[in-house]
Amino acid sequence: MILHSQPNLRDILFTVQGSIVPAIIGRLAVIGAVSVIAVLAANVHPGIFARISAIPFTLIGIALSVFMSFRNGTCYARWWEGRQLWGQVIVACRGLARASADLDAAERRDLLVPACGFAAGLAARLRRQDEGAAIAAWCPGAETARHPNPTDAVLQQLGRHLLALAAAGRIDGIRYSVLEGYLAQLSAAQAACERIVTTPVPFAYSLLLHRTALVFCVTLPFALAGSLGWWTLLPVLLVAYTFFGLDALGHQLEDPFGTAPNALPLDALTRTVEREMLAALEAQDLPEPVPVRGHVLS
């Protein structure tokens, strides 16, 4: 996730890191080359594009802007829901720590350390990384290797631990219900995150916008070259930057748990859970917060 202050004039004119430019620079170069070809052709053969009017491009551009804004709004909704779900994970873990404050050290550790393993496993699962290794760093004895959903297996282990505490009389029925409720919140958050990951924006819809934006930006120079000459480059590149930028930004937001610069900072969110659970266990050496590198928090 990009963390940057409100851009000033210098940032607007010169900042590249943290912007969408690196993701679309290739396409902008292609449109620039097409614009140069169109201008050269108009200069060599005056009037060759006289029959191409800019009016249809105005109408198409307005329609394309509306559809692209709708897609970006849909993708941002997925991003924001993902952030809310990880907020739910943090709240539930804090609830586990608070509701287990009067348990002895070993019993509490068996409850809070697996919560760290759950957060690490969920982050790895959503990013399609080694889920088992992420969990094993916190729960080396967890039986997750053969489980189709190792992160959920951690929750099942926590559920068995709560049942054992209740059977031993270490917690009463009310306390068991409260703690089990927090596990249910973690399970619900995991299922909702998996729903986002496994249900992308329909491919045909995205493909339609990609093709329309590309055709629009490639053909626009031929409508302007005859009347604007070399000034054609300015409006064409500006339009291409807007359309391609929105398209690339929507693509990044579509997968809120990925590793793109605008994706959610799962490493930082996971580290928040780890630090707070270890602090609740009165650990002496807490892991450092994930640093911001180049205005990007991973």
Q: With bands split at pLDDT 50, 70 and 90, how would you rate the model's confidence at 14?
A: low
Residues contacting 50, CB < 8 A, separation 6+: 226
Q: Which residues contact 297 (CB under 8 A, 6 or more apart)?
A: 1, 2, 3, 265, 268, 290
Estimate to the nearest angstrom the gap between the alpha carbon of 12 and the chain centroid: 24
Whether residue 139 contacts residue 130, with contact meaning beta carbons closer than 8 Å, is answered with no
Residue 171 phi/psi, 5° resolution? -135, 145
Residues 6+ apart with CB under 8 A from 258: 127, 252
Long-range contacts at 207-215 (CB < 8 A, ≥ 24 apart)? 209/64, 209/67, 209/68, 209/71, 209/247, 210/247, 212/60, 212/64, 212/67, 213/64, 213/68, 213/243, 213/244, 213/247, 214/27
pLDDT at 87 over 90: yes
pLDDT tens, residue by residue, 264-294: 999 999 999 999 999 999 888 888 988 888 7
Residue 1, Cβ neighbours under 10 Å: how many?
19
How far apart, in whole angstroms, are the C-alpha atoms of residue 188 and residue 157?
A: 16
pLDDT at 64: 85
User: What Å distances lie between residue 24 and 16, 230, 295, CA to CA?
Assistant: 11, 22, 19
- Cα–Cα distance for residue pair 116/273, rounded to 1 Å: 6
Which pLDDT tens digit goes with each residue over 153-163? Answer: 999 999 999 99
pLDDT band for 143, please (50, 70, 90 cuts): low
- Predicted confidence at residue 22, as pLDDT, reads 82
Query: 296 pairs with which residues across the strands?
Result: 2, 293
**φ/ψ of residue 20, rounded to 5:** -90, -5
CA 249, 253, 199: angle at the middle one, nearest 5?
A: 135
HSE-up of residue 182 (Cα within 13 Å, Cβ side) = 23
One DSSP character per residue, 32-94 reads HHHHHHHHHHHHHSTTTTTT--SHHHHHHHHHHHHHHHHHHHHHHHHHHHHHHHHHHHHHHHH
Please, are residues 265 and 297 in contact by the beta-carbon 8 Å criterion?
Answer: yes
Rounded-to-integer distance, Cα 271 and Cα 265, Å: 10
Does the pLDDT value for residue 174 go beyond 60? yes
Please give the mean pLDDT across all residues of the chain: 87
Global pTM value: 0.87
Q: Check residue 8 and give its pLDDT.
A: 56
Higher pLDDT, 83 or 284: 83
Tens-digit pLDDT profile for residues 224-255: 888 888 998 999 999 999 899 888 888 889 99
